[in-house]
């Protein structure tokens, strides 16, 4: 998700924005963490629901990946006909399918997948629909203005909650348009703009979800959303499904993140309680 040095570009860019004025020599990556620590509720929040929506794509070796190569293989260890039961071994890159980005994915010492606070994993969900804009511009970046428009219609973004981008891209998951590669090998799909990322941090949002392969738009050169968001102790979720089946506000997202020690993310089961 990066080339060497790209985090420096983002850190300089963040510094120029003046968010961290007065923090002196502290690196901007660390400064983001200091300036906008995520809320840490002692317990996950309660809610009521009458139905469950599965926000998870089914995953197989053919699932599209950011790097363009398969990231899952399955080897049969035991088979029913021969052994009386079936069992397999997976070889799996953590960032495959509907999957978590843990803070440590883009930081030196952030929380791993097993260490994310339980209070961050069952939280209110806001869904921001940018399908029309993304349909006309596959490089569309969801902006702070999109979030403010959402707030005008739905009330404040949920502090301690998750904001999901519904770009319509989940519909393309079985086609080449999901990665949407140009003649030069560059990808074109929507993502979160840095302005929106910073606005969500100011509002105390803890989770960022996208229906594409990356929190940043496909053509990003600096991974600005990743570098601002994850080192601050927040989580991301990529390749989310079925956001059309969830209301703009009022649902609760249940983040079935893998509780694997040292993991930088990993395949997850996501549900929305509506």
Report 213-242 residues binding its own copies (CB under 8 A): 223, 226
| 99 or 131: CB nearest its own copies | 99
Reading the block at residue 239, the tokens are: 């390749």
Residue 57: closest CA among 207, 267, 273: 267
Q: Which of 21, 40, 89, 221 binds its own copies (CB under 8 A)?
A: 89
d(CA 173, CA 56): 12
Q: Which of 20, 33, 98, 200 binds its own copies (CB under 8 A)?
A: 98
| 128 or 206: CB nearest its own copies | 206
Q: Are the CB atoms for 128 and 146 separated by under 8 Å?
A: yes
Instruction: Quote the longest CA-to-CA distance of the chain.
Output: 68
Is there binding between residue 95 and its own copies (CB under 8 A)? yes
Q: Which of 5, 18, 22, 185 binds its own copies (CB under 8 A)?
A: 5
| 49 or 144: CB nearest its own copies | 49
Q: Are the CB atoms for 28 and 11 separated by under 8 Å?
A: yes
Read off the DSSP letter of residue 71: -
Q: Which residues of 63-94 are buried (b: 16+ CB within 10 A; e: fewer)?
A: bbbbeeeebbeeeeeeeeeeeeeeeeeeebbb
- Applying the rule CB under 8 A, the residues between 28 and 87 that interact with its own copies are 43-44, 46-52, 54, 56-60, 72, 74, 77, 80-87
Partners of residue 192 on adjacent β-strands = 142
Is there binding between residue 247 and its own copies (CB under 8 A)? no
Is there binding between residue 174 and its own copies (CB under 8 A)? no
Reading the block at residue 14, the tokens are: 């963040």
| 68 or 135: CB nearest its own copies | 68
Residue 94: closest CA among 270, 269, 260, 241: 260
Residue 194: its H or E element: helix 194-202
| 83 or 145: CB nearest its own copies | 83
| 106 or 199: CB nearest its own copies | 106
Is there binding between residue 266 and its own copies (CB under 8 A)? yes
Sign of the torsion formed by the C-alpha atoms of 25, 117, 226 and 262: positive
Is there binding between residue 254 and its own copies (CB under 8 A)? yes
Is there binding between residue 152 and its own copies (CB under 8 A)? no
Is there binding between residue 204 and its own copies (CB under 8 A)? no
Q: Which of 27, 70, 204, 256 binds its own copies (CB under 8 A)?
A: 256
- Asked if 105 is an active-site residue, the reply is yes
Q: Is 84 helix (H, G, I), strand (E, B) or coil?
A: coil
| Least gap, CB of 23 to its own copies (angstroms) | 21
Q: Which stretch binds its own copies (CB under 8 A): 102-110, 154-162, 164-172, 186-194?
A: 102-110
Q: Are the CB atoms for 20 and 26 separated by under 8 Å?
A: yes
57, 99, 105, 193: which is the annotated catalytic residue?
105
Residues serving a catalytic function are 105
């Amino acid at each position: 998700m990066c080339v060497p040095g790209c985090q420096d570009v983002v850190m300089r860019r963040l510094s120029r924005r003046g968010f961290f004025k007065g923090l002196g020599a502290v690196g901007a990556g660390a400064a983001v963490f200091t300036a906008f620590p995520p809320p840490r509720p002692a317990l996950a929040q309660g809610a009521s629901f009458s139905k469950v929506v599965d926000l998870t794509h089914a995953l197989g070796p053919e699932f599209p990946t950011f790097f363009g190569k398969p990231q899952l293989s399955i080897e049969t260890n035991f088979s029913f006909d021969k052994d009386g039961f079936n069992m397999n071994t997976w070889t799996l890159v953590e960032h495959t399918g509907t999957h978590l980005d843990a803070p440590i994915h883009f930081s030196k010492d952030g929380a791993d997948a097993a260490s994310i606070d339980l209070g961050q994993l069952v939280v209110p969900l806001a869904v921001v629909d940018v399908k029309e804009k993304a349909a006309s511009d596959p490089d569309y970046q969801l902006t702070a203005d999109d979030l403010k428009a959402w707030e005008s219609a739905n009330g404040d973004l949920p502090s301690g909650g998750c904001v999901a981008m519904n770009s319509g891209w989940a519909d393309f998951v079985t086609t080449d348009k999901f990665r949407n590669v140009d003649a030069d090998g560059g990808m074109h799909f929507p993502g979160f703009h840095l302005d929106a990322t910073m606005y969500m941090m100011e509002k105390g949002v803890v989770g960022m979800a996208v229906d594409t392969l990356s929190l940043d738009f496909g053509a990003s050169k600096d991974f600005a959303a990743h570098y601002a968001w994850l080192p601050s102790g927040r989580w991301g979720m990529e390749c989310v499904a079925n956001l059309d089946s969830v209301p703009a506000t009022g649902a609760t997202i249940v983040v079935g993140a893998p509780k694997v020690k040292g993991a930088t993310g990993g395949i997850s089961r996501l549900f929305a309680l509506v």
